Amino acid sequence: MSTPKRRLTTFLNQVPLFLGLVLLWMLLWGAFSWLNVLTGILLAAVVSVGFYLPAVQLGLRLNPWFTLLYLARLGFDIVRGSLQVAALALSPRYTPSNAIVAVHLRTRSDFILTLTGVSTSIVPGAIVVDVDRVRSTLYLHVLNVHRPEQVERFRNGVLAEEHRIVMALGSREDVERLRQVSGEDRSEQNQRARDQHAREKRKRKGST
Partner 1 sequence: MSDELQDVISAVLVLTGAVMCLAAGIGVIRFPDVLSRLHAATKPQIFGLMAITADVAVNNFTVGTVTLVIAIVVFQALTAPVAAHMVSRAAYDSHRVRVDVLVIDELGTRPD
State how far the Cα of 83 lies from the Cα of 152, in Å rounded to an integer.
22
Instruction: Write 191-199 long-range contacts (CB < 8 A, 24+).
Output: 193/102
Nearer Cβ to partner 1, position 151 or 181?
151
The least distance separating partner 1 from the CB of residue 25, rounded to whole angstroms, comes to 11
Nearer Cβ to partner 1, position 19 or 86?
86
The least distance separating partner 1 from the CB of residue 203, rounded to whole angstroms, comes to 10
Q: Give the residues lining the site for partner 1 (CB under 8 A).
A: 24, 27-28, 30-31, 78-79, 81-90, 94, 96-102, 117-118, 121-122, 127-132, 137, 139, 141, 143, 145-148, 151, 193, 196-197, 200-201
The least distance separating partner 1 from the CB of residue 3, rounded to whole angstroms, comes to 34
The least distance separating partner 1 from the CB of residue 8, rounded to whole angstroms, comes to 29
Nearer Cβ to partner 1, position 24 or 62?
24
Nearer Cβ to partner 1, position 185 or 195?
195
- DSSP label at 32? -
The least distance separating partner 1 from the CB of residue 74, rounded to whole angstroms, comes to 9
Confirm if 110 and 135 have CB atoms less than 8 A apart.
no
Nearest to 197 by CA among 137, 148, 149, 132: 148
Nearest to 143 by CA among 181, 87, 190, 199: 87
**Is the dihedral angle over the CA atoms 186, 192, 193, 198 positive or is it negative?**
positive
* Pairing, β 137-142 against β 126-132: antiparallel
Nearer Cβ to partner 1, position 74 or 175?
74
